[in-house]
């Protein structure tokens, strides 16, 4: 993937061709050819951001959250309504909470105070968190071509750690509410979402995703959990949306699930959306966020875009952070 940014124009043509192809598929009987590992590897190469902001870059697509982009996001604030996009820590063991949070209280009667210790493994399907750029790798490579063995050690990440985001991530957030579009309370586990689903939502909501934006997908995962019960198999993106993410120059992906529909690249043993977003594009991911309250506010205001503010913990060497993102309408 080295110097792949110099091939962006050619890659865009590839993406446009794929868009036409997937559009034609949607008009057919519903049968789709799954993305192959070979095609995924080509996208990892052709649609990469490696070198785009220089060899020393450690923040990737967050470079698209420029001062102008943050001002654009701030201009979306009209009512001043704030909504948390985080879910409460799960405290009971379940198939989606193998390591639930246990509150560790310290009560000091003499000092007349109390406190608590927070210790969680936040990656996975349980907690709302932000993935950093040293979190995952593909074929031993991290974002911008670094060998993970030179960066990731038992002492933490020497590059692209959580402190690189110490000034926060602020941009325009666009909520994509797929259950609302499809007229259901939640998507069934395993449901795959495609490029045409995003485009249908853009038409429905009167928005268009563009450079520097955060794409926030609501599948209804938490509503499903409340109604049916916990599951590890969730609805999410099919790998065929990958060229769309590059064409629109999305800066950050968020979802109330872990983004991926299961087995969207048969035979690939790692999650394709995570690897493409983080390794190839340098995009941070928000996993397991809760978009239900934001969807209610957005529907009431009939506005599906807002200022998004994310303030990860400043953890030296960290691979990410539990977070409580805030949508400001």
* Alpha-carbon span 255 to 264, nearest angstrom: 17
Task: Identify the residue whose tokens are 């590890």.
Answer: 232
pLDDT for 302: 97
pLDDT for 32: 86
Q: What is the DSSP string of 19-61?
A: HHHHHHHHTTTS--PPPPHHHHHHHHHHT--TTTT-TT--SGG
Overall size of the chain counted in residues: 329
* Alpha-carbon span 111 to 126, nearest angstrom: 35
Residues in Cβ contact with 24 at an 8 Å cutoff, skipping those fewer than 6 apart: none
pLDDT for 30: 57
Per-residue 3-state assignment (H helix, E strand, C coil) for 229-295: CCCCCCCEECHHHHHHHHHCCCCEEEECCCCECCCCCCCCCCCHHHHHHHHHCCCEEEECCCCHHHH
Task: Identify the residue whose tokens are 């875009």.
Answer: 305
Report residue 72 CA to chain centroid gap: 21
Name the nearest CA neighbour of 87 among 304, 329, 257: 257
Task: Identify the residue whose tokens are 């007229």.
Answer: 183
pLDDT for 47: 98
pLDDT in tens, 148-171: 999 999 999 999 999 999 999 999
**Positions of the chain with pLDDT under 70:** 1-30
Whether 195 contacts 240, CB under 8 Å? yes
Angle, CA 288 vertex, CA 147 and CA 321 arms, to 5°: 50
Tokens matching residue 5: 């940014």
pLDDT in tens, 21-31: 334 334 333 57
Q: What is the DSSP string of 135-182?
A: S--BTTB-GGG-BHHHHEETTEESSS-GGGGTT-EEEEEEEEEHHHHH
pLDDT in tens, 160-209: 999 999 999 999 999 999 999 999 999 999 999 999 999 999 999 999 99
Whether 160 contacts 317, CB under 8 Å? no
Angle, CA 58 vertex, CA 54 and CA 63 arms, to 5°: 75
pLDDT for 6: 37
Whether 180 contacts 322, CB under 8 Å? no
* Alpha-carbon span 79 to 96, nearest angstrom: 36
Tokens matching residue 292: 């239900």
* Alpha-carbon span 236 to 273, nearest angstrom: 10
Domains and CATH numbers, the chain: 4-88+121-328 (3.50.30.50)
pLDDT for 237: 97
pLDDT for 97: 95
């Amino acid at each position: 993937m080295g110097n792949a940014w110099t091939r962006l124009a050619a890659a865009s043509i590839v993406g446009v061709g794929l868009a036409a192809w997937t559009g034609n598929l949607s008009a057919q009987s519903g049968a789709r050819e799954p993305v192959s590992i070979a095609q995924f590897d080509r996208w990892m190469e052709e649609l990469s951001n490696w070198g785009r902001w220089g060899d020393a870059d450690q923040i990737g697509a967050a470079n698209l959250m420029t001062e102008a982009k943050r001002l654009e996001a701030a201009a979306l604030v009209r009512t001043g309504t704030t909504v948390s996009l985080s879910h409460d820590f799960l405290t009971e063991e379940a198939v989606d909470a193998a390591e639930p949070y246990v509150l560790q209280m310290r009560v000091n009667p003499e000092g007349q105070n109390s406190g608590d210790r927070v210790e969680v493994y936040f990656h996975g399907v349980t907690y709302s968190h932000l993935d950093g750029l040293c979190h995952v790798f593909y074929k031993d490579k991290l974002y911008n071509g670094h060998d993970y063995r030179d960066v990731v050690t038992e002492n933490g990440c020497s590059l692209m750690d959580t402190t690189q985001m110490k000034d926060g991530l602020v941009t325009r957030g666009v909520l994509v509410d797929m259950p609302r579009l499809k007229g259901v309370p939640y998507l069934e586990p395993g449901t795959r979402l495609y490029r045409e689903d995003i485009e249908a939502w853009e038409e429905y909501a009167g928005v268009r995703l563009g450079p520097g934006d955060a794409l926030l997908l609501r599948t209804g995962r938490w509503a499903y959990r409340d109604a049916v019960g916990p599951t590890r198999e969730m609805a999410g993106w099919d790998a065929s949306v990958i060229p769309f993410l590059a064409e629109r120059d999305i800066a950050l992906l968020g979802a109330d699930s872990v983004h991926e529909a299961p087995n969207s690249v048969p035979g690939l043993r790692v999650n394709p959306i995570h690897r493409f977003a983080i390794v190839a594009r340098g995009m941070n991911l928000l996993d397991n966020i809760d978009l239900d309250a934001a969807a209610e506010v957005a529907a009431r205001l009939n506005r599906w875009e807002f200022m998004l503010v994310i303030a990860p913990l400043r953890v030296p060497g960290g691979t990410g952070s539990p977070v409580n993102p805030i949508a400001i309408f």
